[in-house]
Amino acid sequence: GESVGLHLPTLSVQEGDNSIINCAYSNSASDYFIWYKQESGKGPQFIIDIRSNMDKRQGQRVTVLLNKTVKHLSLQIAATQPGDSAVYFCAENNDYKLSFGAGTTVTVRA
């Protein structure tokens, strides 16, 4: 079965607001996670990654939080823009194999 999964399949957010996308994983030995963005008709695009020796990592407008105690990670997008509309996946990277969850579809309302 899947080792990672997302809490909600869809998220609707007002343009300019912050978005939070959640993901739970089951394997406590997992030590490397990646968030991907997939737009319609395209392949997944790397957003940000985090290793288990960190609990927070920031990029441009994005922040990933990792809570190893409850095996949960989240992706926060600041000031969500129309171009952020896409499906977001968390993935566990086991050496080279990526194990993806089912994805959260984010829709940005103007």
Partner 1 sequence: GAGVSQSPRYKVAKRGQDVALRCDPISGHVSLFWYQQALGQGPEFLTYFQNEAQLDKSGLPSDRFFAERPEGSVSTLKIQRTQQEDSAVYLCASSSTAAGGVRSNEQFFGPGTRLTVL
Binding mask 54-83 for partner 1 (x = CB under 8 A): ------------------------------
Q: Contact region for partner 1 (CB under 8 A) — 12-20, 65-73, 75-83, 98-106?
A: 98-106
Give the type of residue at 81.
Q
Of 62 and 98, CB closest to partner 1? 98
Q: How far is the CB of 47 from partner 1 (least distance, A)?
A: 11
Does 99 interact with partner 1 (rule: CB under 8 A)?
yes
Tally of CB atoms within 10 A around 4: 22
DSSP 73: E
Alpha-carbon span 66 to 107, nearest angstrom:
24
Alpha-carbon span 58 to 76, nearest angstrom:
9
CB 65 within 8 A of CB 48: no
Does 89 interact with partner 1 (rule: CB under 8 A)?
yes
* Interface contacts to partner 1, rule CB under 8 A: 2, 32, 41-46, 49, 89, 91, 93, 95-103
